[in-house]
Structure formats: structure tokens, C-alpha cells
Amino acid sequence: MEFSAQQIADYLRGTVDGNPDVKVSGFSTIENGKAGTLSFLSNPKYSRFIYDTNASVVLVNKDFKPEREIKSTLIQVDNAYESLAVLLGVMEQMKPKKNGVSPQAFISPSAKIGVNVYIAPFVFVGEGAEIGNYAFVDANSYIGENAKIGENTVLHSGVKVEKECEIGKNCILHAGAVIGSDGFGFAPTKDGSYRKIPQVGNVIIEDNVEIGANTTIDRATLGSTIIRQGVKLDNLIQIAHNVEIKKNTVIAAQSGIAGSSTIGENCILAGQVGVAGHLEIADGCVFGAQTGVPSSVKKPKSMMQGYPAVPVNVFRRASVVYKNLPELQKTVDDLLRNLPSNLQKGE
């Protein structure tokens, strides 16, 4: 399906700079733009590509000022990246949606299945489980007994939702995600061995949450591990038992949150961040890649990096010193060699 630049601009409440009648039917990156496609520019480091791109239409921020002539038609919007997300979402909604239950799926007679649900081959749905209207459950997924899947939620292939866990509305769980595996709970005994502590809680995932491939969220020892509304988790993340992640927090790949910690609202954790157990992280905190957080952060909107985590401006100054340590060591050694012998001996 084709759309003109003017139609797209009207939908996004943007303005056209160029030919309003040019039409596009797909998307492309700005550096590999093709005729008949729409691209976008939001990061200034890619600005050089806009002058040679073959994309017919390019979304740009309203403050973009071209340095020379551009052959593409521009649509000026408040936020080009967000506008691209809106258009991609529309495209996804226009795709035909599957529904129906495969005869190769196993559905417990006591399970409740909503209307217009799609359940692919080799899905298992346990006793007392509930799947809401318009949900999509792809092949080889597992939904344990008394688990609940909300309306319009998507489970990609191989997702495991263990017993009594709850997934809200409009969530997306990518391939291989495991929700509700046992928390890592063991009690040391006198003989040096460990006794397993039964994990009898569950996991609650609220609405509009996205969980990446092969991410694991452990069930609580008691009570619930809770992922609040709007949280976005990348691939390969470990969330331990009794953790709470509050609204609209974003966590990148290979990060880990240890048991019973609470992460505040609107936080950003970059890749490979590690948060120790039983901590509280205030709202709006940002942790740079590979940051280790050994203690609570009570100040909202703190920006931290390094291990142990320190304010990012301190980390940057320390990094300058660290990379100069070999030269500083050489300077100290030279100074010591030039000291009088009695001072070298500390006399």
C-alpha cells in the first residue's frame, strides 16, 4: 500500500518540504535509502547521509537545518524517531492477524480461552490457565496451570510462563523468555550443604511491558516479583526473586538484578549493569554500561557509572587518571631514584 508524503505528514502533524505527492510503500535506512521508501534522521552523526540518500521521503526534526540541497522530500516533525515508531506501529497493525487454535496444541479442558486468540502448534496450556481476547501464542510456548495472559498480548515461540504467573494486556514476550522459574533460594546447613527453599510466590507483569529473548524473571520466594506498567527489558536479562521494577524503566541486555531489590520509575540501565540484592534505586536514575551497584541510590535522577558506582562526572575524571597511571608510576619511580639516600630510606 502506498502513501503520499502529504498523507504521512497530515497523520504525524508535520510539514512537507519538497514534493507532497511523492509516494512510498516501505522503509529503509538513510545510508541505504531506496526510491519509494521512507527513511528518517534523528541522530546528527548520520546527517551526512541525507544529502545522497535515494529514499523518497525522510523524516527530520523541525530544528534540522540542511547545509546544501537535498533531493528527498522532507517531513518535519517534533521527534523523527518517535514518528518513525508511530508509522512502523501502523504498518504492523495493518498486517493480517492469525486466529484459531491449532489441533496440534494441547489445551486443558479447564483453561479459559478468549475470542480471536491464536494458539500455534505444540503450545501447552495448563489447567485453570486463562488467555485473554486477541492474544497470540506462538509455537512451542508453555503456559502453566492457573497462569493468566492478558488481552492482545504476544508470546513468541518457546516462551515459558510458569504456574500462577500473570501477564497483563498489550505485552510482548520474545522467544525463549522464561517467566516464573524458581528464585535462587538455598539455606546453608551445618554440614556445609544447602537446603532448597521452595519458591511459592509468582511473577506479576503489568500492562504494556516488553521482554526480550531469553530473559528470565524468577518467581518470588513469597509474594510476587513485579514488573510494572510500561517497563522494557532487553534480551538476556536476569531478574531475581522478589524484585520490583517500577513503571517505564528500561534495562539493556545482559544486566542482572539480584533478589529483593527495587528499581524506581523511569530509570535507564545500560548493558551489563549489575545491581546487588536488597537495594533501593530512586526514580529516574541512569547507570552507564557495566556499572556495578553495591548499595542503594536514594537520590532521584542520579547518573552513575563504574564499579563501585560513582557519579558519572567522578567516573570520567577517574578514567583520565587511570589511563595515565603507567606514566604517573614512572614519574614517581624517577623522583624516588633522585632523592637523597637517607630520604629514600625514610630517615
| Residues identified as active-site | 241
Question: Phi, psi at residue 241, to the nearest 5°?
Answer: -65, 140
Torsion of CA 7, 11, 12, 16, to 10 degrees: 20
Are 14 and 72 in contact by the 8 Å Cβ rule? The answer is: no
Are 180 and 203 in contact by the 8 Å Cβ rule? The answer is: yes
Please state the separation of Cα 172 from the chain's center in Å. 11
User: How many Å apart are CA 124 and CA 105, to the nearest integer?
Assistant: 6
User: How many Å apart are CA 123 and CA 263, to the nearest integer?
Assistant: 33
Q: CA 42 → CA 183, 276, 299, 303, distances in Å? A: 41, 35, 31, 24
User: How many Å apart are CA 243 and CA 262, to the nearest integer?
Assistant: 6
Residue 29's Cβ-side half-sphere holds a number of Cα atoms within 13 Å equal to 6
Residue closest to 239 by CA, chosen among 265, 208, 212, 266: 212
Are 41 and 60 in contact by the 8 Å Cβ rule? The answer is: yes
Residue 176's Cβ-side half-sphere holds a number of Cα atoms within 13 Å equal to 9
User: How many Å apart are CA 135 and CA 304, to the nearest integer?
Assistant: 39
User: How many Å apart are CA 337 and CA 347, to the nearest integer?
Assistant: 15
User: How many Å apart are CA 188 and CA 306, to the nearest integer?
Assistant: 32
